[in-house]
Structure 1
Amino acid sequence: MAARPRLTGVLLVAFVLVPLLEIFVLVQVGQVIGAWWTIFLLVLDSAIGAWLVRREGARAWRALRSTLAAGRLPAGEIADGALVLIGGTLMLTPGFATDALGILLVLPFTRPLFRRTLTSAVARRLVVVPPGGQGPFGPRNARRPGPDVVRGDVVDRGTDRAADEDVDGGSDGRAGA
């Protein structure tokens, strides 16, 4: 039940405090440089942000593809892609504060700081199942089709050798099969 107060706090910040901060910053900038220059800066900021997200998104995509082609686990590349996506979304919202955070998430020299934070947050929430061990869904070799499976249906049994055998011992009633 501890997750509900944390979620409420996040929603409060996201939907109440951030818009109030954005309005405050917009009013302050508008009073200093004028309304039209403020609008011009917002449009310019969005255009630069779109260009930056497109460039860094393409770079993250290329890095992901090359890592997969090399046969390595693309954990950092996936995190980079997620950060570019989140940063781009923040830059789409009107306002200078969310644009500043979005730019920090997208820039290649500030992204590693946020990547470590994202990686540690995701790692805290992962459930690790030891190989061949008891996981959150029961024993590893318990993936047998239930009584609702009709002969001839395709059943995903995973990659276990024991699960690759037919349920009834290998005889399916067809000759030569």
Structure 2
Amino acid sequence: MSRRRRFVQGALFVAFVVVPLLEIYVLVQVGQVIGAGWTILLLLLDAVLGSWLIKHEGGRAWRAMREALQSGRMPATEIADGALILVGGTLMLAPGFITDAFGILLILPFTRPFFRRVLAATVARRLLISAVDVRRPGPGPAEGPVVRGEVIDDE
């Protein structure tokens, strides 16, 4: 099994088994400390705060991207911010305190630069790996010397 496949399987296991179990554990613990009603109210307030934050920061990222495009600048930072806000908003949709906390960290403007650097490093590493894979010699017309010439069709 390839290294990448093992990583993907591990990530899926964590995302679909470990995280939900942790969320349930935290919800039960919080419910035991403050009560079920307060826990539900806290989750609702968390959802309202998250919705407002997504709307506010998403709008800000959209305006920044439009300004970058209008000025003729490549909106790389703005696209990364939009992606992080989208992922953070998706995490905010999942009920639970752990995913909400991580989602808020992706959305907040003062924590987002850290995650933007992580995203940029990940994308750069993937592009470097892809570029190395493209340059590997393989079967086909890329092997051997290149002969320049002109094709003449007699028919």
TM-score by length of 2: 0.82
In structure 1, the partner of 2:77 is: 76
**Structure 1 position 60 matched with structure 2 position 61:** yes
Query: Cα offset for 1:135?
Result: 10
Q: How far apart are the structure 2 equivalents of 1:128 and 1:73?
A: 22
**Structure 1 position 24 matched with structure 2 position 25:** yes
Q: How far apart are the structure 1 equivalents of 2:28 and 2:118?
A: 32
In structure 1, the partner of 2:145 is: none
Q: How far apart are the structure 1 equivalents of 2:123 and 2:88?
A: 18
Alignment of 1:42-57 (within 5 A): 42-57=43-58
Secondary structure, counterpart of 2:84 in structure 1: helix
Aligned length: 135
Q: In proportion to residue count, which structure has more helix?
A: 2
Alignment of 1:17-166 (within 5 A): 17-126=18-127, 127-128=130-131
Query: Cα offset for 1:2?
Result: 1.4
Give the aligned CA root-mean-square deviation in angstroms.
2.0
Higher relative contact order (CA 8 A, sep 6+): 2
For 1:85-140, what per-residue CA distance to the aligned partner results, in whole angstroms no more than 9, with x for missing partners? 000000010000000000000000000000000111111112459xxxx899x88x
Q: Unaligned stretches of 5+ in structure 1?
A: 140-167, 169-177
In structure 2, relative to structure 1, the CA distance for the partners of 1:18 and 1:29 (3 Å cut) is: same
Identity of aligned residues (%): 65
Q: How far apart are the structure 1 equivalents of 2:119 and 2:66?
A: 21
After TM superposition, the runs of 4+ consecutive aligned structure 1 residues lying more than 4 A away are none
